[in-house]
Every structure is written in C-alpha cells, then in structure tokens.
Amino acid sequence: MSTRSYDVVVAGAGTGGSFAAARLAGAGLDVAILERKNEQQAGHIACGDALKGADAFPDSIPRDRLETAITNPGVDHGRFEIPQEDTVLEIPVPGELAVVDRWKYGKVIIDGALDAGAEIHYDTLVQDVVQDNGRVRGLRATTDGEPVTYEAEMVIDAAGSLSIVQESADLEHSHFDTNVTFQQFCSAYREIVEVPEPVPWDDALVFKPTARAAGYLWYFPRTDRIINAGLGFQMTEEPMTMVDTLRDDLNQRAEFKGAKVINKLGAALPTRRPYDSAVAPGFMAVGDAAGHVNPTTGGGMAGAAYAADYAAQVAIDAIEQDDFSEAALWEYNERVMDHFGGRYAALDVYNIMSTAVDVDELMSLLASLPGEKLADALYSGSTNIGWGLKLKTAIRTLGHWGTIYGLMRTKKLADRLLEHYERYPSDPAAFTAWQQDRDELMDEIYQAIGATPKY
C-alpha cells in the first residue's frame, strides 16, 4: 500500500468538493480531490439543473467559468400547476436564476479546481478513515484498483448523501451530527428530454404536485426544446414508482408528444435541516454530506458552494495556527448557520407540515393565495401579508380557513425556530444546551402540526 501526503484531502468532486479545493489550492496548499468516477463521468449527477444566485457564488471559481455551463439564462419565475383546481400560479423568484447543463457545470468546476492548483484522483473509491486519538488524519482508498493511504492535516467530506466517510469515522467524541436516517431524504429521478417543438414556458421553472403529499414533478427548460423532467418524493412516504409516474405525466402533456429521452438518472438527496454540527477534529463536511440543501426545493448547488468556501477558509486558518480541534473549526458551523442554515431549518418546518396535510386541500388553498407571497415563503422561510391583501385572501379562501390557521401557526413556529438558530452558539461548550432548547421547540412543532417526528 502506498502513502501520499497533502495539506488537505477532499472526498468528492461535486460543487462542495471543487469549490473547497479551488479555495484551498488558491491559498497555496497541497490539495487532493478523491473522485470515485472516471474522468469522463465525473461531474455527471442527477440534478434539476436550476441554478439560483450564481452571480454571488464564491469567487474561488470565476463567474465567467460558470457562465459557460448556463444554457437558459432567460428563466425568471416559477410556474406552479395545480390540476385539481385547473389553476396555474405564476410565482416570481427573487435573485438571478438560470438553467444549466449539469454535466458541463460539473466539468467546469472541476477544471476550476485544477486550474487553481488542486490535484484530482479519478477512479478512487474511499473505503476508510485514518484517525489518531479521535482526530481524522486522512482517508484510505483504492485508486485504479490499488490501495492508497491519503494522509492530510485536514479532511473535507464532500462525498454526497449518506457519505461512506462519515460511516467509517468515529465521530462520537465530537458534536458532529449523527442523527441522520434515510427518512430524512428524498428519492429523485430525472430525464433529459428533447421535444419536437419549442415549449411555451421556456422562461419558467414548472412545478406540479404528485398525487401524494411531500412530492412534486418538475419541468425545467435547459433550452426551449431540451427539458429536464423529473420528480421526487420524501422517503417518509410510501414508495413511488417514479419512472412510471413521470412517464404517465409526460404522456398527458401535448408539448411532449414525440419527445426523445436523451439521458436518465436517479439519486437521493437530503431534504432535512442542515447538520447541527458538521465539524470534528481534523474534519468538516460540506454540501449534501452535511444537509446543505433547501428542504422544500431540493436545491443544493448554492449551499454547497458557500459552505465549501467557509470550510476552506477555516481549514486555512487551522493549518496556519496548527490547531485542528473541534473548537478551532467551530467557526465553520457558525458561518453556515448565519448565512443559510437557520433559514433552511425553518423551511424544513413547511416540509414536515406537508407530510401531515391532505394534499388536495392544500393545493386548493394554494390556488387561492397570492403567488408573490408564496415566493417569499419558499425562498425566505417567512412571509407577511398586508391587511388589504389579507381581506382579499380571506374572501378567495372561504372554506379553507382551518388549513389557513394551520399554515399561520406553522409560520409562527418556523419564525421561532429561525430566531433560535440566530442564537447558534459561538463555542461548542454551549452547543448541548442550544440543541436541547431546539429539540423542545421541535416537539412543540410536531404536536402543533400533527406530524410524525422527523429527527
């Protein structure tokens, strides 16, 4: 078995891994990315292809590189189809929005990390973690079928959902979040479909509820004739035959008559709150490997990019100070929670609510609500409705007031949860008390919503 030594070893060459490696290598550190796929397949994952906020992504990979993967910059709103009510809601989406070729995007960010000075080892399957007195010191893997030990001062896990790295590591002596189960994940499937004629909604992200709660179909236009069509459902629900469900819906849509499937892929993604803590001595997790995904939409590229940048900056400081303790890395948790972690945790309350309501009743209510307020709730986790709008909404939603009351109560609880995350501790010594208070609030949320506990 050969041994290779680096300052930092990164597991996975996705958004989190590539952005972290680019920042680290740009700072002059020796960085290796371990990627299980071969060079040709690297960057190819199941994704909805919608990219939000790329104009504000970390600059470790230049913006002009990302632009080369954008295939449809003209998308500017969501189109929410509610067939039960024969209604279509046009929902504005704040900030820059685009649809990308995810495989090309994957190649672009890998090239960005390589150009910054990182190494990438393709065909590398991580099998175990190297630890010394509780500190993670590297990874054991097979590269091109040969066993290799990758030693490092720091390890960053960007290996995606239910990472083998975390399963192999002993994290019990830290506050690293181990409360992770498959019920907190979503199963997703998507096809890239070419249609004969341009679709009339090439400026919109199209959403449509499935026949059950906690699931939806999507149609995202890469171009006016190349569509990313897919669906997902929460794993707390009964299993769904996703291929058949998507096929049935495609066959009912006139714009897909004569369509040709050019690619298909499935995946699991975390539709849960971000990890309470994603650090342990010598170790940090980013992106899907730390639950950095909007739990209501499944969008994860932005969270992964930002988290990776924060992790890289904290790793740089740790190496300079020769301190790899949990306390030294804790700033990473704080930065994630302050930027988007608290908001995602609050949004998860709505995701939990969706498992405990009648889907037809909820869709009927949503058809009566203002689209701009739904957008506020979807992207900020909170919304306010003025008195004039409240009166109009009350008239339009006559017969749904019980559900409205439930939504209002859910909003208040989500706001309280967000406020609690704003008090995320600056030191791991205060973490247990903060977590206990959060769990008590979550118990109140489950009881008020009538949902089965998710955590």
pLDDT at 397: 44
- pLDDT confidence of 365, banded at 50, 70, 90? low
pLDDT at 85: 72
Residue pair 13/105 in contact (Cβ under 8 Å)? The answer is no
Residues 2-73+96-177+273-342, CATH architecture: 3-Layer(bba) Sandwich (3.50)
Strand ranges (DSSP E) for 271-409? 279-280, 283-285
pLDDT at 396: 47
Strand ranges (DSSP E) for 27-158? 31-34, 50-52, 70-72, 77-82, 87-92, 97-100, 119-121, 124-132, 135-143, 146-157
Distance (Å, whole) CA 259 – CA 252: 12
pLDDT of 116 > 60? The answer is: yes
- pLDDT confidence of 209, banded at 50, 70, 90? confident
pLDDT of 324 > 50? The answer is: yes
Question: pLDDT of 9-27, one tens digit each?
Answer: 999 999 999 999 999 999 9
Domain assignments of the chain as residue spans, ordered by start: 2-73+96-177+273-342, 183-270, 346-449
Residue with more model confidence, 183 or 334: 334
85 C-beta neighbours (distance < 10 Å), count = 15
Question: pLDDT of 139-198, one tens digit each?
Answer: 999 999 999 999 999 999 999 987 899 999 999 989 999 999 888 998 999 999 999 999
**Tokens for 290?**
């730390």
pLDDT at 405: 58
pLDDT at 96: 84
**Tokens for 401?**
């007031």
pLDDT of 393 > 60? The answer is: no
Q: How many helices (H) and strands (E) does the chain have?
A: 13, 18
Helix (H, G, I), strand (E, B) or coil at 38: coil
pLDDT at 180: 92
Dihedral sign, Cα of residue 360, residue 362, residue 366, residue 369 = positive
Distance (Å, whole) CA 126 – CA 149: 10
pLDDT of 7 > 50? The answer is: yes
Q: What is the pTM of this model?
A: 0.91
- Rg of the chain over Cα atoms, rounded to whole angstroms, equals 22
Residue with more model confidence, 372 or 83: 83
Distance (Å, whole) CA 246 – CA 232: 10
pLDDT of 370 > 60? The answer is: no
- pLDDT confidence of 53, banded at 50, 70, 90? confident
Residue with more model confidence, 315 or 184: 315
Question: pLDDT of 233-288, one tens digit each?
Answer: 888 777 778 999 999 999 999 999 999 999 999 998 999 999 999 999 999 999 99
Helix (H, G, I), strand (E, B) or coil at 277: coil
Distance (Å, whole) CA 366 – CA 373: 10
**Tokens for 130?**
């190297």
Range 306-325 average pLDDT: 98
Distance (Å, whole) CA 21 – CA 376: 34
Helix (H, G, I), strand (E, B) or coil at 161: coil
pLDDT at 52: 84
Query: Span 183-270: which CATH code?
Result: 3.30.9.10
Spatial neighbors of 295 by CB under 8 A, at least 6 apart, are 270, 271, 272, 273, 344, 347, 348, 351
Torsion of CA 278, 284, 289, 290, to 10 degrees: 20
Residue pair 274/336 in contact (Cβ under 8 Å)? The answer is yes
- pLDDT confidence of 353, banded at 50, 70, 90? confident
Residue with more model confidence, 378 or 83: 83
pLDDT of 392 > 70? The answer is: no
Contacts of range 196-201, beta carbons closer than 8 Å, 24 or more positions apart: 196/225, 196/257, 196/258, 196/259, 197/225, 197/255, 198/224, 198/225, 199/224, 199/225, 199/227, 199/255, 200/255, 201/79
The mean of the pLDDT values for the chain is 89
Residue pair 127/140 in contact (Cβ under 8 Å)? The answer is yes
pLDDT of 384 > 90? The answer is: no
Question: pLDDT of 395-444, one tens digit each?
Answer: 444 444 455 556 778 888 999 999 999 999 999 999 999 999 999 999 99
**Do the domains at 2-73+96-177+273-342 and 183-270 have one common CATH topology?**
no
pLDDT at 58: 95
